[in-house]
Amino acid sequence: MARPLSIAVAQPRCAAHDVAANAVAHAEAVRAADARVVVFPEMSLTGYELDATPVAPDDERLAPIVAACAGTGTLALVGAPVAGPRIGILALDGDGARVVYGKVHLHRGEAVHFVPGEQPAAIDVAGWRLGLAVCRDTGFPEHAAKTAALGIDGYVAGVVHAEHEAGLHGERARRVAADHGVWVATAAFAGPTGGGFDRTSGRSGIWSAAGELLAEAGATPDGIARAVFVK
């Protein structure tokens, strides 16, 4: 049986297109979170800027996050535009970074700049299997179903929601938990970002496999929520 897994959702401040500054903010969040896994919002490294340049896994600007992960034993799941170009998730640990997922369900505006990911994905962490999603993916029950078919224990997502959409996190998390009996963690932007999101929701949260809200961040930047998954 896998040991309990500590997981956090973080919503750091974000400077548009400034990967270097945002990486420092991510590193600070990793250190503050005290968790084995830290999940960040959609495109958290650049802001929700649809014209942002893709970030390569070997980009030297990611060094602060790698160092923070090395010092804490953390796996950071970071939102960024990646090669494709896709709206992706980078997994960073003390050994470096790799692309682990590309957003499957794009909005019309996103499709002008990006191509969709080809399939659901999951990663293994300390005996746990975590399914991956980005924002609009979470609104499609078939996405969760296909991801659950990979044998997941949890479903984690980075999102950007407007201020009035804060309730979406819980609605979708509870649906995934009810349909598939898995834990859910959603990291949401707080504060302004690109794409017309002058006011975002914050309220990143973590839900149990029974759909119970275990932890929730506030509506302002720099918030972190943390919980422990158990089997």
What pLDDT was estimated at residue 105? 97
**Does the pLDDT value for residue 194 go beyond 80?**
no
Element (H, E) at 178: helix 167-180
The residue type found at 78 is: V
* Range scoring the smallest mean pLDDT among 7-21, 56-70, 160-174: 160-174
The residue type found at 108 is: R
pLDDT in tens, 41-55: 999 999 999 999 999
- Tokens 């897994």 correspond to 5
**What's the pTM?**
0.96
Rounded to whole angstroms, the Cα distance separating 200 from 138 reads 17
Q: What's the pLDDT band for 2 if we cut at 50, 70, 90? A: confident
- The separation between CA 115 and the C-alpha centre of its own chain, rounded to angstroms, equals 19
- Quick one: angle between helices 63-72 and 19-33, nearest 10? 10
- Tokens 């909005």 correspond to 107
Question: Average model confidence (pLDDT) for the chain?
Answer: 95
**Does the pLDDT value for residue 1 go beyond 70?**
no
Q: Give domain limits for the chain.
A: 5-229
Rounded to whole angstroms, the Cα distance separating 203 from 218 reads 5
**Does the pLDDT value for residue 166 go beyond 90?**
no
CB atoms within 10 A of CB 64: 18
User: What architecture (CATH level 2) is domain 5-229?
Assistant: 4-Layer Sandwich (3.60)
**Does the pLDDT value for residue 195 go beyond 80?**
no
Find, among 213, 170, 214, the residue nearest to 188 by Cα: 170
**Does the pLDDT value for residue 215 go beyond 70?**
yes
What pLDDT was estimated at residue 169? 86
What would you report as the CA-atom Rg of the chain, rounded to the nearest whole angstrom? 15
CB atoms within 10 A of CB 66: 20
**Does the pLDDT value for residue 214 go beyond 80?**
yes
The residue type found at 149 is: A
